A and B are shown apart, each in its own frame.
Chain A
Amino acid sequence: MDTNYHAHQTPQFRVLSDRQIEKLYEATLECLNRTGVRVLNAEARELLLEAGARVDGMRVHIPPYVIQDAVAANPRSFTLWGRDDEHRIQVAPDQVYFGPGPTCTHFVDPQSGQRRKTQRRDPGLTARVCDALDNIDYVMSLGLISDVTSSLAPVYEFAEMIANTGKPVLPWAYSTQNVSDIHQIALAIAGSEKTLRQRPLFALFSTFQPPLVHTDEDVANVLWAADHDVPIVYLGGGSAGATAPVTAAGTLVISLAGALSGLAIIQLKKRGTAVCIGSVPQPMDLRTGRPSYGAPEMSLYSAAMSDISRYLRVPFMGTAGASEDKGLGLQAAIESTLQVILSGLSGATLVHDVGFLDCADIGSLEMLVMTDEIIAMSRCIMRGIEVSDDSLMLDLIDRVGPAGHFMAEEETASRCRAEIWAPKLMDRNGWDGWKAAGSQTMKDRIQARLHEILAAHEPPPLPKQVAERIESILQQAEAREEAQEAKG
């Protein structure tokens, strides 16, 4: 056999050299020790103090060994389960999965095509579409529900999502009470505490605030999750020029310091808790001051974060399929394509925000459907090229010979699906064929596919008693909120 030879190597986009990665990591350790982070949660400050950090009011200076310990304690790989077994995902560096993002204030109504406030049913629609799309691996809501008791919006959101997909779901929460309610819903599905611990049906998505702040609520939520063996995604930004230094390196330090200090808090609470760190490092727009999801720098910085995460062997949440466009237009296609291909090639583990428009303010199912196709194209490239005796096919070439053709050969039929990608949305007809198929634009085809999914796709059904149990959890939560309001 050949030695020292890879038959199949995935192309990889690397932004940082090994030495640059180490320098950024070391700079982050120095920043956490010297500058420290503002930790607004008392229990977390206590945990850090016990571990050897210096606490000065809300400010916590974390020595490098606490961070290095946390990195070592975090599982390099963990499994997230869906309601059906076939959709479980292995969250680990170099595995790449795509899914939507959370909390868009607005949603594009799939019937009218108009932007409106997000409604209760929208996360369920998102989940159903995700369930049907081959290249979407996990579910987030694409919406912040506006028409329910606002403090319970994340709970309703989770209930809608989990009922409409067999894939893993990533909810978020305002409060530990929300996390507890969400956990109750997952328990109703899993059947027992033990099963849910062994096969977690969700990971809690939570955030830190750049620069260098951990809020009381977010930290309380992740501590609750760690205590219950719920996997955690802990993500924050860093907007170059605004909430981070204007340089890419400075922005990476801010992003990494937030993520790793959060990781330390979680690992100190319960060593071995499964954590995926995340970051949406982007530049501030120089005209509006808004963080720019659509900026090429966002993809560049995120790829650098992937490089660092791979070096640390900590799974990383990246960002793609998130545009500044206000509808499904040319800008959305351009931004999404660039983000998806670079995320895929950089090896981010959980790539999220697929379906965002208007810088995370609008959730769009059309954008989700379009980006599914872009992901499929990118995965085709990520697959790389197999170079082996088998794939060189010299015997076949010899058999067919000059001026022959390969189209009707057995090898062609048996391998064509694995070797050549067949688009679902991209048109490859000639002009006449395209006309005969109805002269549809890409947007027409995206909408047709979306409506076909919404009309016909059936996610795995929830057993009746589970659905009833979830409804009663929601009713209890409402009653509790009412009682609290009456009291307070």
Chain B
Amino acid sequence: MDWNRMGDALYDGKVDEVAALTKQALDKGHTAQEVLNQGLLMGIDKVGKDFKADLLFLPEVLRSGKAMHAGMDVLKPLLSESEGTALGTFVIGTVKGDLHDIGKNLVGMMLSGVGMEVVDLGIDAPADKFAEAIKEHHPQIVGMSALLTTTMDEMETTIQALKDAGLRDKVKIMVGGAPVTQDFAEKIGADGYAYDAVSAVDLARVWLQS
């Protein structure tokens, strides 16, 4: 199997070609795990590195992400749940009372673009919605966003609710949004703060590797 060709197709964001090459690799007798590790993950790794090096731009990364997912759709039925979400699962939402989602969407797209499984709870998400998502999807990371100073305190409420439900220690919690700062993140007991979408992806990667 020409893994370089698959990597190139993924890098160039060729959705159909990546799906076709994924099927072809399986037909040739490669296991789903091999296709994932040799083909898709290698390709998306180069995308991430080149984005960091300013060689690729956001929309191109997202296009590669789409191609990655086209390959994953083929492989998923053949992989165990943990293998299928090899790069991690990230639950993300805008907290209760806040209807802003541009930044949150961007973070979600970026995470998805680098191959992570993203569960988007949308806007105005109350604490119990986050709790249910943790139970259902077993994410490693939960991301919360708020744009308003009036709603950012809802993040603290949500973290408290997760503690009460016994779920807090199952996940890392990342917070972000215009009024949020590192100090605030520490004060409310979050594990980390990301100042923009790219730093959110970086932080998620660090956490998932450790």
Q: CB within 8 Å of B: which residues of A?
A: 405, 407-410, 412-413, 416-417, 422, 429-433, 436
Contacts and interface: CB of A to CB of B under 8 A. Distances in A.
Contact of A432 (B105, B106, B195): B195
A306 B1 CA distance: 60
Contacts of B182: 432
Contacts of B32: none
Contact of A413 (B54, B60, B106): B60
B199 A432 contact: yes
Q: Which of A410, A413, A436 has the most CB of B within 10 A?
A: A413
A410 B13 CA distance: 9
- Which secondary structure dominates chain A's binding surface? helix
A380 to B, nearest CB: 15
Nearest to A411: B59
B178 to A, nearest CB: 9
Closest 3 CB pairs of A and B: A432-B195, A413-B63, A408-B62
Contacts of B60: 413, 416
Given A407-B106, A407-B109, A422-B57, A413 B62 contact: yes
B13 A413 contact: yes
- Which secondary structure dominates chain B's binding surface? helix
Contacts of A416: 57-60
B105 A412 contact: no
23 contacts: A407-B59, A408-B62, A408-B63, A408-B65, A408-B109, A408-B113, A410-B13, A410-B63, A413-B59, A413-B62, A413-B63, A416-B57, A416-B58, A417-B57, A422-B54, A422-B57, A430-B195, A431-B195, A432-B195, A432-B196, A433-B195, A433-B196, A436-B195
A405 B105 contact: yes
B88 to A, nearest CB: 20
Contacts of A433: 195-196, 198-199
A36 B132 CA distance: 91
A96 B54 CA distance: 28
Interface string B97-114: 000001001100100010
B66 interface: yes
A378 to B, nearest CB: 21
A430 B59 contact: no
A408 B105 CA distance: 11
Given A430-B196, A433-B198, A436-B195, 15 more contacts: A405-B102, A405-B105, A407-B59, A408-B59, A408-B66, A408-B109, A413-B59, A413-B60, A413-B62, A416-B60, A431-B195, A432-B195, A432-B196, A433-B196, A433-B199
Q: Which of A408, A417, A430 has the most CB of B within 10 A?
A: A408
Q: Which of B106, B182, B195, B198 has the most CB of A within 10 A?
A: B195
